[in-house]
Amino acid sequence: MKAPYPYPIIAREGWPYLIGLTLLCVLVTQFLGLSFATPFFVVWLFVLQFFRDPPRELPSEPGIVSPADGRIVAVLPCQDPYLNCPAIKVSVFMNVFNVHSNRSPVNGVIEDIRYFPGSFVNADLDKASEANERNALVIVAENGQRLSCVQVAGLIARRILCYVKVGQRLTPGERYGFIRFGSRVDLYLPTTSVIKVAIGDRVWAGSTLLAKWGE
């Protein structure tokens, strides 16, 4: 089954950049020639791949899906700073070549949204979870369990976009936000969760099963 996908295959967040770069490429080519325009075409291709946003197939097993594309950089017991309770943190690091569209990990209702301004250290480092700019969703899943899903800005990321509101229902794999350029997403899961990934694994938003609900 496909995850809900109301957006084109190129994320709407990238349209202004692509339109501006297209005009620039045309003007440079017309007035200076193709050789001078080549670097601008390379930048255009980079921006195009960065803002791609393909539809995804949900996993066949029920559970908690990845909210982001990238690489697992943390799986560890910790204290959920948003629910103030013991949790298992699973962190996904997104480099500049990953899709940066963020998707809901579960079927549930948004209980709270908290935004924190901060710095922009390398998102690959664990201290980014507390030091960097971030936006946290507290979600009550359909089974009554609660979790936190946190967008964290990275070294060059300068814009966290979140399009949902408190009280809104999300379905697994539903697109809810975007982070421009390298960043990470942290999930704080109940301690009874059965983790299905390990550090270093590559995951895909809406398609990779990160964990299953425990008892």
Which are the catalytic amino acids? 183
Handedness of CA 100, 120, 201, 192 (dihedral sign): negative
Interatomic CA distance for residues 214 and 131, integer angstroms: 31
The string of DSSP codes covering 112-159 is EEEEE--B---TTSTTHHHHB-EEEEEEEETTS-EEEEEEEE-SS---
Q: Is 81 helix (H, G, I), strand (E, B) or coil?
A: coil
Unique residue bearing structure tokens 């942290």: 186
Interatomic CA distance for residues 123 and 94, integer angstroms: 8
Which structure tokens are listed for 102?
A: 């963020």
Say how many C-beta atoms besides its own lie within 10 A of residue 73's C-beta: 19
The torsion angle over the Cα atoms of residues 21, 15, 11 and 41, rounded to 10 degrees, is -10
Which structure tokens are listed for 141?
A: 């899943």
Nearest CA to 67 out of 213, 193, 208 is that of 208
Unique residue bearing structure tokens 């390379």: 42
